[in-house]
Amino acid sequence: MSGVRVLVGTRKGGFILTSDERREQWEVSGPFFSGWQVMHMKGSPVDPNRIYASQYDDWFGQMIQRSDDGGVTWEPMGNEFQYEGEVTTHEWYDGTQHPWEFKRIWHLEPSLTETDVVYAGGEDAALFRSDDGGKTWQEYSALRAVKGPLWAPGAGGMCLHTIIQDPTNADRLIVAVSAAGVFRTDDGGKTWRPITRGIISRWELADPDAEIGHCIHSIAMHPSRPNVLFMQKHWDVLRSDDGGDSWYEVSGNLPSDFGFPIAVHAHEPETIYVVPIKSDSEHYPVDGKLRVYRSRTGGNEWEALTNGLPQEHCYVNILRDAMAVDSLESCGIYFGTTGGQVYASTNSGDTWTAIAGHLPPVLSVEVQTLP
Amino acid sequence: MIRVILPAHLQTLARVGREVEIEVTGPVTQRTVLDALEATYPILRGTIRDRVTQRRRPLIRFFACERDLSHEPPDSPLPEEVATGKEAFWIVGAMAGG
């Protein structure tokens, strides 16, 4: 019998929610790494029992954990993340230059094809790769060479939070950094370039269409159309139809185009989801109503999805890595809130149910569809 | 033997109890104690000192003999009571609440 496994990273540990394909009854296990922030957990597309977790604590730093039995047991992997070559500088909050300093891993992205290959997005922003299942890590230092002194931290730190692999081209990776922008390599990481044409940050940057400095919040891609990318920026929802070479806004009739996560339906590449947040200074849903917005037209035309979601006095946030989809026949959508709820829809967003209600603030949600 | 007391999270990582004993050859300093501790429990590398600079992580404190030794130079001798095993060297997560 098939089923799903929802991997939930929170400020005080990791949780795994499992169900069969009906997704009606949920079993909750955890917390794993109790008391630590679990920034992100993600399973290998090659071996679903292989799960990687980023475990962080302000006191004791970064750990990487790995499970080879679907999250039942865990083993610590390597936590030596060193910047390769010269440690360069980036812009600091006061405008001065500040050396790159490693703090933590925001996002783990297992390879689409190799069980032991996994990418990690770090703070201060850098992309790391492991070829031995997380034991050792090497940096793609050429990324930092792309006008690194102009990169600057956002309010949450200067983090590389989005890593997209092109399923048709192993040499292409797309990464996003807050607040530096979005970058692409087409030669396996040897060289990188900013891909920001069409991105406008009118309220955030003195030069609104600068190559560097945009605060990208998240990017999503449907594997059947790797050249089509959807982006939730600080403000604005955008899409690209040419692998990021150019972007255009598709915010349309959203009540606010500020938000953090964006996701694509598993079977409908033009169906996308965002959760509008009131503003950059008020990180909660517009009018206190928790509404997921769905576009079936790849943007511009959006409909509010509210059935089963709180429609008054709701002041939670949904963070950038906290929304994901399963690939069962009736596509499931999942998201977690800073209030500790995890909501699931088993019908593409038409109706929602809380499958966990009282977790610590949710940092990330990923879903594995199990055979 | 040098006695070291670990905070709860590091006990979990190292899969040990509150107090561990380690052997230090030569002078007993913060650096030699932490070197020996990390050699015995490699999982603790990077959790007490920065991997690159080897400096104490900002929210870690070192106590011994009712004194805060956090700001002492890492190569200064630790108190005789620590070197002889009479007193423990405490590694503590700093208070940082709100």
Edge-to-edge strand list for the sheet holding A248-249: A216-221, A229-233, A237-240, A248-249
What span, in angstroms and rounded, lies between the C-alpha atoms of A129 and A118? 6
For the segment A316-348, what is each residue's pLDDT rounded down to a tens digit?
A: 999 999 999 999 999 999 999 999 999 999 999
pLDDT at A1: 60
Compare CB distances from A59 to B43, B52, B57 and report the shortest one's residue. Answer: B57
Count the neighbouring beta carbons within 10 Å of the beta carbon of residue A293: 22
Mean pLDDT (whole number) for A183-210: 96
ipTM of the complex, rounded to two decimals: 0.91
CB contacts of A59 in chain B (<8 Å) are: 7, 9, 57, 59-60, 93-94, 96
Amino acid of residue A241: D
Q: Please report which residue ranges of chain B form alpha helices under DSSP H.
A: 8-14, 30-40, 80-83
Say if the Cβ atoms of B94 and A63 lie within 8 Å.
Answer: no
Partner B contacted by A61 (CB < 8 A): yes
Per-residue pLDDT tens digits for B54-78: 999 999 999 999 999 999 999 999 9
Q: Is the CB of residue A93 less than 8 Å away from at least one CB of chain B?
A: no
What is the pLDDT confidence band of residue B87, given thresholds at 50, 70 and 90? Answer: very high
Report angle CA A37, A43, A46 to the nearest 5 degrees: 160
pLDDT higher than threshold 80 for residue B97:
no
Q: How far apart are CA A51 and CA A45, in angstroms?
A: 10
pLDDT band for B52, please (50, 70, 90 cuts): confident
Sketch out chain A's domains with CATH numbers. 3-370 (2.130.10.10)
Binned at pLDDT 50, 70 and 90, residue A203 comes out as: confident
Percentage with pLDDT > 90 across chain A: 96
Measured between CA atoms, how close is B63 to chain A, in angstroms?
16
The three-class DSSP label of residue A98 is strand
Closest-CA distance of chain B to residue A161, Å: 22
Give the C-alpha separation, A141 to A144, whole Å: 6
A interface test, pick of B12, B43, B47 with most A CB neighbours within 10 Å: B47
Q: How far apart are CA A280 and CA A235, in angstroms?
A: 8
pLDDT at A2 over 90: no
CB-closest option in A60, A80, A81 to B9 = A60
Interface contact B46, partner A, CB < 8 A:
yes
Question: Hey, what are A187's tokens?
Answer: 């030669």
pLDDT of res. A86: 87
Summarize the confidence of residues A89-113 as an average pLDDT.
95
Tell me: the pLDDT tens digits for A262-310?
999 999 999 999 999 999 999 999 999 999 999 999 999 999 999 999 9
Taking alpha carbons only, the member of B54, B37, B26 closest to residue B91 is B37
| Distance separating alpha carbons of residues B31 and B54, to the nearest angstrom | 9
**A102 contacts chain B (CB < 8 A):** yes
How many other C-beta atoms lie within 10 A of the C-beta of residue A43? 23
Distance from the Cα of A60 to chain B's closest Cα (Å) equals 4
Residue A154 has pLDDT above 90, yes or no: no
At A255-273, the pLDDT tens digits run 999 999 999 999 999 999 9
Q: How far apart are CA A361 and CA A348, in angstroms?
A: 24
Verify whether the Cβ–Cβ distance B52 to A82 is below 8 Å: yes
Mean pLDDT of the region A133-140: 98
Question: CB contact, 8 Å: B70 with chain A?
Answer: no
A142 preceded by a cis bond (ω within 30 of 0): no
Identify the band that residue A218 occupies on the pLDDT scale cut at 50, 70 and 90: very high
CB contact A82 to B (< 8 Å): yes
pLDDT 10s digits, A50-59: 999 999 999 9
If you average pLDDT over residues A120-134, what whole number do you get?
98
CA separation for the pair B43, A65 (Å, rounded):
11
**Spatial CB neighbours of A355, under 8 Å, sequence gap ≥ 6:** A6, A17, A19, A26, A334, A342, A343, A344
Confidence check: pLDDT of B98 > 90: no
Q: Is the pLDDT of residue A311 over 90?
A: yes
- A vs B, Cβ pairs < 8 A, gives 42
Q: What pLDDT, on the 0 to 100 scale, is given for residue A155?
A: 81
